[in-house]
Chains A and B, each alone.
Chain A
């Protein structure tokens, strides 16, 4: 780090521990930032598209996960470079907002930065670049809206939704079963969707995984599946017409939060206490039983004695139900969560058609299924697969598909995939560039080039010649004025994405372009990095 000296040759100390800090300024800082971010985007770029590859990630504890999901990859890479971390957040915010397209957004940001680097080399000021990108982004978004189409999600047994889900699943390891899984996801979302309000509460879809079997065995359970069994081995395994009592207090003598002491100083007291203790259990079970409940689910543990009393009173019970499950069950069955035994009343009970225990494989693992719930239709997707890595990846994939369907229910406008939307935008942005008379023109043109990078990357991953296929698609788009021409990734013989039925949601595409542009702008504004030396 360069130092300033006074007249006597002593350095001015401006930053604390100045000597131990590393500082990068100006062009050096820009380039270093851009290269770091590009390195991340490069890693992800081979995961893009239906023929994208997966990444194997080894966690600090040696656990392996294999995934194609952009957000998961960047999260598990444990990136430490500050600028590269911005891309991680970019991918995660796309995940949080839209749920899908997490790879695409990072790749697009990478392409934009690549363009920015050449512009910087040309000597264009970073702020000019970022302004140009901003204007180009607006044009692209507007154009996206004009080329978007509304689809009828109800038509033909929700065919459009299934197709959109298939597009989302197409790039994953489960792609072979995309149609089946897509259907499962669509059914699940429609079951819980509030179509009048165009809203979907994703909390009502529970995704439970269980290794064993194969991905084909994945199925939809119209109810809630919880990974628990009855508290006493001899309780009945099935309760029909269940009236569920949902407790968040343990079947144990009360434990006041305040510190207290009960001092026993005589035998009478001792006996009295014993009787009272016994009475606690009897009362608790009686209160539950009297309310008319025929099954009790409890977030906490049971005392042995209480457990037996429950059995004796023919009241099946489940202990240690997780907090999220309790809430889900409450929503689905209309049960009120009861924090104290005294507050149990019949109207607070939830109702469900049946509660039963099911068993898997040879290893005696059981789960409880709550079906035909009274209020909303909560559903569970039970994912099976040959190994933990596969079920985990399938879970992420189905989550993506569910998000896509939800977005379509919220906003039924779509654009076509296969890079066609990006190409169409690129063409539009290029036209606009010529109208701009200032330096930004170059940046706008570069933005178009970056957009073209997406179909380029897609074609590359599919083993096609990227330059020829993108050029062909582009010229056909212009000649036929058809914004649906993209890259034929699956080699189906047509480049019209409408025929291939590759649907992507407009909201996802819009979000991708906006987020990527924002992050790039942010990176371009950094001209000074001060960090500890060992960084």
Chain B
């Protein structure tokens, strides 16, 4: 009923709801802040992990995940609240764009909204808050760019930067105790790419067994497949033919074809013809004179035997990824027709040595000395599949960050240094701004400062004291100071060697501000009636 007493007719569908004004805002703040709070405890070197347990029936549903990675946690959650969904979305984008900082972005957006809520309670219009945030964001980003440093890509300093960044990224993960080892490993892998950003060349193989320490970087390329029985297990100076062709039987591709025969003899004839066709194909393959034949699809016994008889090592079932990687690493062309043996030199891949190796219990094929030396493999070992999965995610994060750094080359000091400096710059700016926007700029600074505060809290230190001391250090002009999370003091990041990739921070600040603004601007939430599903 409205004020005059008219009964309002129902405009929306039965189960649809509409929340307006304060209610809508409250709903989105609560949702976003709850999500931020949820992942908050994973932030920083002393952050904790989460167990994710899938719901639903079935064997595969009992597989749990233990992780510290913000994007993985948020991705696996099913939330109802629309604002919470926005936070999850930005975390995903962060993951796709730079690979790390997925927790930071969600937490920062959550903290911004927490501050925003306070301002709204003070009766400041959301548009003014947004206006202030926009100023603050620009100041923060400018500061971030100003405090970052750049080193030449070939120089030793840059190499050291990469190792430091890798160490910093790893320090919040499960493998923090072995971070020097893994940092070195990841940097080596990334440097092999020589500036290319194609992560496909770095293959990660997970094998349960042994300890994390047993993981290693293999400079060759490892294919998690087996060499067919009856073939040579070690080929030197291999000529590799990579193919994507049916080697079971060639089905007739012309539409509507049916084989119809009227006697047993004819069946035999057709069978012979079929066999001959395969033989013909194999002959054509043989004309290329490869020593190794890799096929994406399955190979039947007959062609396999023919190939093996000619002394060719056969690898079947290499699936799409494997095939493309072999092709990329050895410089081979992926063939589906075999009518041009004169192009042999162009199409065949080459590598110095192919051998079957055993890692743990599993047999694999290792290609060393490939034509294109960019590919490499990281073999991860660990006592359980959960650990391996988490290590895999951590390594993926590190590799992404390193690749981003190689592309962008700018680095900033870690340990909360960049956030504190951005916050300080915002506060400085707030003094110059007239109008209520200034309050929002200060709020932005507070939200930024929450990141190091949470890191402290997660480490069990007295955050209020530490952050204040940190502020003073920066004020004194020690621009490299930061949080030393090992002994709970404010230390010198230069000495501790804690660096972070500027691009990751930049993206986090940009995405978090955009998301916070998006949520802030909302004053009305309309939920449509959920689609009715027929239960099967």
- A and B: partners? yes
- Interface set of A (CB-CB < 8 Å, partner B): 31-33, 35-36, 39-40, 43, 46, 51, 53-62, 64, 66, 68, 73, 76-81, 84, 173, 176, 211-216, 232-234, 252-256, 259-267, 270-271, 273-274, 276-278, 280-281, 303-305, 307-309, 311-312, 359-364, 385-390, 393, 462-463
Known: A60-B528, A264-B270, A387-B86. A253 touches B253 (CB 8 A): yes
Residue of A nearest to B271 (CB): A267
What are the nearest 9 A-B pairs in CB distance?
A308-B336, A386-B511, A53-B523, A60-B531, A212-B97, A267-B273, A267-B269, A386-B514, A214-B510
Residue of B nearest to A285 (CB): B337
The verdict on B118 contacting chain A, using a C-beta distance below 8 Å, is no
Complex CA gap A407/B274 in Å reads: 67
Taking a contact as CB atoms under 8 Å apart, the answer to whether A211 and B96 are in contact is: yes
Taking a contact as CB atoms under 8 Å apart, the answer to whether A361 and B97 are in contact is: yes
Of A281, A385, A393, chain B has the most CB atoms within 10 Å of the CB of A385
Cross-interface CB contact of B99 among A58, A277, A362, cutoff 8 Å: A362
The residues of B that contact A215 with a CB separation of less than 8 Å are 514
Taking a contact as CB atoms under 8 Å apart, the answer to whether A53 and B82 are in contact is: no
Taking a contact as CB atoms under 8 Å apart, the answer to whether A80 and B273 are in contact is: no
The residues of A that contact B529 with a CB separation of less than 8 Å are 60, 78
Taking a contact as CB atoms under 8 Å apart, the answer to whether B528 and A265 are in contact is: no
Taking a contact as CB atoms under 8 Å apart, the answer to whether A305 and B334 are in contact is: no
Complex CA gap A259/B256 in Å reads: 8
Known: A304-B245, A309-B337. A364 touches B200 (CB 8 A): yes
The verdict on B518 contacting chain A, using a C-beta distance below 8 Å, is yes
* Nearest Cβ on chain A to B167's Cβ, whole angstroms: 20
* Nearest Cβ on chain A to B204's Cβ, whole angstroms: 14
Complex CA gap A266/B261 in Å reads: 7
Taking a contact as CB atoms under 8 Å apart, the answer to whether A270 and B9 are in contact is: no
Residue of A nearest to B338 (CB): A308
The residues of A that contact B266 with a CB separation of less than 8 Å are 265-267
The residues of A that contact B250 with a CB separation of less than 8 Å are 274
The verdict on B63 contacting chain A, using a C-beta distance below 8 Å, is no
Known: A233-B324, A265-B262. A390 touches B336 (CB 8 A): no
The verdict on B89 contacting chain A, using a C-beta distance below 8 Å, is yes
The residues of B that contact A386 with a CB separation of less than 8 Å are 90, 93, 510-512, 514-515
Complex CA gap A385/B97 in Å reads: 11
The verdict on B517 contacting chain A, using a C-beta distance below 8 Å, is yes
The residues of A that contact B274 with a CB separation of less than 8 Å are 270
The residues of B that contact A39 with a CB separation of less than 8 Å are 8-9, 11
Taking a contact as CB atoms under 8 Å apart, the answer to whether B90 and A387 are in contact is: yes
Per the 8 Å Cβ criterion, residues 83-105 of B in contact with A are: 83, 85-86, 89-90, 92-93, 96-99
Taking a contact as CB atoms under 8 Å apart, the answer to whether B257 and A273 are in contact is: yes
Cross-interface CB contact of B258 among A213, A264, A307, cutoff 8 Å: A264
Complex CA gap A309/B245 in Å reads: 12
Taking a contact as CB atoms under 8 Å apart, the answer to whether A46 and B511 are in contact is: no
Can you spell out 11 A-B residue pairs with CB atoms less than 8 angstroms apart?
A: A31-B6, A53-B524, A77-B18, A80-B11, A261-B258, A262-B256, A308-B244, A308-B334, A386-B515, A387-B514, A390-B514
The residues of B that contact A303 with a CB separation of less than 8 Å are 253
The residues of B that contact A261 with a CB separation of less than 8 Å are 256-258
Residue of A nearest to B93 (CB): A211
Taking a contact as CB atoms under 8 Å apart, the answer to whether A253 and B528 are in contact is: no
Residue of B nearest to A387 (CB): B89
The residues of B that contact A32 with a CB separation of less than 8 Å are 9
Taking a contact as CB atoms under 8 Å apart, the answer to whether A267 and B272 are in contact is: yes
Taking a contact as CB atoms under 8 Å apart, the answer to whether B90 and A264 are in contact is: no
Of A43, A58, A363, A393, chain B has the most CB atoms within 10 Å of the CB of A58
The verdict on B13 contacting chain A, using a C-beta distance below 8 Å, is yes
Complex CA gap A509/B381 in Å reads: 68
Residue of A nearest to B18 (CB): A43
Taking a contact as CB atoms under 8 Å apart, the answer to whether B522 and A64 are in contact is: no
Taking a contact as CB atoms under 8 Å apart, the answer to whether A46 and B524 are in contact is: yes
Cross-interface CB contact of A263 among B244, B260, B343, B511, cutoff 8 Å: B260
Complex CA gap A262/B134 in Å reads: 69
* Nearest Cβ on chain A to B112's Cβ, whole angstroms: 13
Interface size, B (range): 35 or more
Taking a contact as CB atoms under 8 Å apart, the answer to whether A387 and B259 are in contact is: no
The residues of A that contact B80 with a CB separation of less than 8 Å are 62
The verdict on B64 contacting chain A, using a C-beta distance below 8 Å, is no
Complex CA gap A176/B98 in Å reads: 24
Known: A46-B524, A66-B521. A61 touches B334 (CB 8 A): no
Complex CA gap A61/B82 in Å reads: 12
* Nearest Cβ on chain B to A47's Cβ, whole angstroms: 8
Taking a contact as CB atoms under 8 Å apart, the answer to whether B82 and A362 are in contact is: no
The residues of A that contact B261 with a CB separation of less than 8 Å are 265-266
Residue of A nearest to B245 (CB): A304
* Nearest Cβ on chain B to A264's Cβ, whole angstroms: 5
The residues of B that contact A64 with a CB separation of less than 8 Å are 82, 85-86
Complex CA gap A280/B89 in Å reads: 47
The residues of A that contact B512 with a CB separation of less than 8 Å are 386
Complex CA gap A75/B90 in Å reads: 25
Of B20, B83, B127, B200, chain A has the most CB atoms within 10 Å of the CB of B127
The verdict on B199 contacting chain A, using a C-beta distance below 8 Å, is yes
The residues of B that contact A385 with a CB separation of less than 8 Å are 514
Of B8, B198, B262, chain A has the most CB atoms within 10 Å of the CB of B8
Complex CA gap A477/B527 in Å reads: 43
Complex CA gap A256/B126 in Å reads: 63
Cross-interface CB contact of A256 among B20, B255, B526, cutoff 8 Å: B255
Known: A59-B528, A263-B260. A362 touches B98 (CB 8 A): yes
Known: A53-B521, A362-B400. A387 touches B197 (CB 8 A): no
Taking a contact as CB atoms under 8 Å apart, the answer to whether A233 and B334 are in contact is: yes
Complex CA gap A364/B403 in Å reads: 12
The residues of A that contact B333 with a CB separation of less than 8 Å are 234, 311-312
Taking a contact as CB atoms under 8 Å apart, the answer to whether B515 and A36 are in contact is: no
* Nearest Cβ on chain A to B455's Cβ, whole angstroms: 23
Complex CA gap A116/B403 in Å reads: 65
* Nearest Cβ on chain B to A509's Cβ, whole angstroms: 24
Complex CA gap A308/B98 in Å reads: 34
Of B128, B262, B526, chain A has the most CB atoms within 10 Å of the CB of B526
Per the 8 Å Cβ criterion, residues 377-413 of B in contact with A are: 400, 403-404
The verdict on B56 contacting chain A, using a C-beta distance below 8 Å, is no
The residues of B that contact A57 with a CB separation of less than 8 Å are 525-526, 528
The residues of A that contact B98 with a CB separation of less than 8 Å are 361-362
* Residues 165-204 of chain B, each 1 if its beta carbon lies under 8 Å from chain A, else 0: 0000000000000000000000000000000011110000
The residues of B that contact A61 with a CB separation of less than 8 Å are 531
The residues of B that contact A259 with a CB separation of less than 8 Å are 256
Taking a contact as CB atoms under 8 Å apart, the answer to whether B198 and A364 are in contact is: yes
Complex CA gap A11/B93 in Å reads: 66
The verdict on B359 contacting chain A, using a C-beta distance below 8 Å, is no
Complex CA gap A253/B254 in Å reads: 6
Of B28, B259, B328, chain A has the most CB atoms within 10 Å of the CB of B259
Taking a contact as CB atoms under 8 Å apart, the answer to whether B525 and A55 are in contact is: yes
Known: A78-B529, A273-B257, A308-B244. A51 touches B404 (CB 8 A): no
Cross-interface CB contact of A81 among B9, B85, B253, B507, cutoff 8 Å: B9
* Nearest Cβ on chain B to A459's Cβ, whole angstroms: 13
Complex CA gap A413/B215 in Å reads: 71
The residues of A that contact B494 with a CB separation of less than 8 Å are none
Taking a contact as CB atoms under 8 Å apart, the answer to whether B403 and A66 are in contact is: no
Complex CA gap A389/B519 in Å reads: 10
The residues of A that contact B198 with a CB separation of less than 8 Å are 364
* Nearest Cβ on chain B to A22's Cβ, whole angstroms: 11
